[in-house]
Amino acid sequence: MKYNVNEIRTHFPSLQTGAIYFDNPAGTQVPQEVIDAVRDYYLTANANNGGAFATSQRSDAIIAEARNAFADFLNAQSPDEIVFGPNMTTLTFIVSRALGRFLDEGDEIIVTRLDHDANISPWTALAERGVVIKWVDFHTDDCTLNMADFEKHLSTKTRLVAIGGASNAVGTLNDLQTLTDLAHMAGATVFVDAVHLAPHAPIDVQALNCDLLACSVYKFYGPHLGVLWGKYDLLDRLSAYKVRPAGNKPPDKFENGTQNHECIAGALAAVNYLASVGEKYGGDFAAPYVQFSGRRLQLKSALAAIKAYEKELATRLVVGLSDIPGVTLYGIADPARFDYRAPTFAITVDGKTPRQVAEALGRENIYVWDGNYYALEVMQRLGLQDRGGAVRIGLAHYNTAQEVDKFLETLKRLE
């Protein structure tokens, strides 16, 4: 069935207000299915885990099914490889602290200047242990990672490589397969920040063969919740900082205290919502994923269909931006290369600060972000940090061509 964005939009109550949500990289809107799941959790299953009574058992069953859902979403080998937490940042600090116990003075960690700071600061903090931090640069003309610089920094002392799946600032998709293969050849563990990748493309941790990967559910139509995946053997070897009564095996040992059960219920609903998109509109995109079945196939084909639709919107946006004098676009600007970027665009407008642009658009009910979006290194490298950063336009699968056109028309009037 042909992708029908108008039908997609009926699932999202907030989209009925007339506002145009282009602030999606900071958090998407949620479908009614997610709202209902959170509400129903409170009504029917609101209890702590492990109890001998009905609500606790229902709660445990929801959490178990949510782990299964994310194992399907990421193609994990086991639901026990799925760890829930408050957000990706917190989970990454948890992992960095655990991995830090295995690092010695002089060991090396590679980070990139293209990343969100949540995939930088947890690793640079380990410098206090004597760990050496190596920085990989990016090309400022198109904001793609400098692969030669990456290879130059790999050595026999490299213990961990922290890389992003997609830039939350400028949209660049990194070649995760090549980066992971090169890192493994050097004997390094690979941590992938997939927060900005997960809403826009299928993820298969088995094919990538990375060691750890984290994402945030509120970036793909769910509640505020983080998810960590790791190879089970690695998670099992890591020593978690935890309370003594907590379990000693993954994932329990990484989930200190009571989890956000209602948000886990909503996260399950978000994954099932995406699976329904695949069931309805993903048929033409299922061919590369025939090795999967059931929900895994639906999820892969859903994200492939979403990626194709978002690419059309992104092309429309960039062609329109090129016709507006005074607008500078950062990152890949050639639609022929849009397979290598997410539909997220950073721009500046001559004569106006990013905040002024965002405020003017906001008065027209067009929501965009301004600043550095925690991609501090990106903005510093582009020379934008001291100028207020940039305006970020982030498209999602529920946005429309008409919304893109209204944005462009409004931006033109700002001259």
pLDDT digits (tens, 9 = 90+) for 246-264: 899 999 999 999 999 999 9
pLDDT of 220 above 80: yes
pLDDT digits (tens, 9 = 90+) for 36-52: 999 999 999 999 999 99
Name the maximum alpha-carbon separation found in the chain: 66
% of the chain with per-residue pLDDT over 70: 100
Place of tokens 């998709």: 173
Place of tokens 């992971």: 180
Q: Which residues are within 8 A (CB) of 59 and not within 5 positions of it... i.e. 6 or more apart?
A: 41, 45, 46, 47, 48, 49, 261
Global pTM reads 0.98
Domains and CATH numbers, the chain: 5-29+296-412 (3.90.1150.10), 34-271 (3.40.640.10)
DSSP-assigned states of every residue in 133-147:
EEEE-EETTTTEE-H
Structure confidence at residue 415 (pLDDT): 61
Residue 287 tokens, joined:
């061919």
pLDDT digits (tens, 9 = 90+) for 8-40: 999 999 999 999 999 999 999 999 999 999 999
Asked if 98 and 68 touch (Cβ cutoff 8 Å), the reply is no
pLDDT of 297 above 70: yes
pLDDT digits (tens, 9 = 90+) for 109-153: 999 999 999 999 999 999 999 999 999 999 999 999 999 999 999
For 319, list phi and psi in degrees, rounded to 5.
Answer: -60, -40
Structure confidence at residue 1 (pLDDT): 87
In the 8-state DSSP scheme, what is residue 395? -
Alpha helix positions (H), 260-413: 261-281, 294-321, 354-363, 376-381, 401-412
Residue 269 tokens, joined:
């609903």
Q: With CA atoms as reference, report the closest residue to 82 among 225, 289, 200.
A: 225
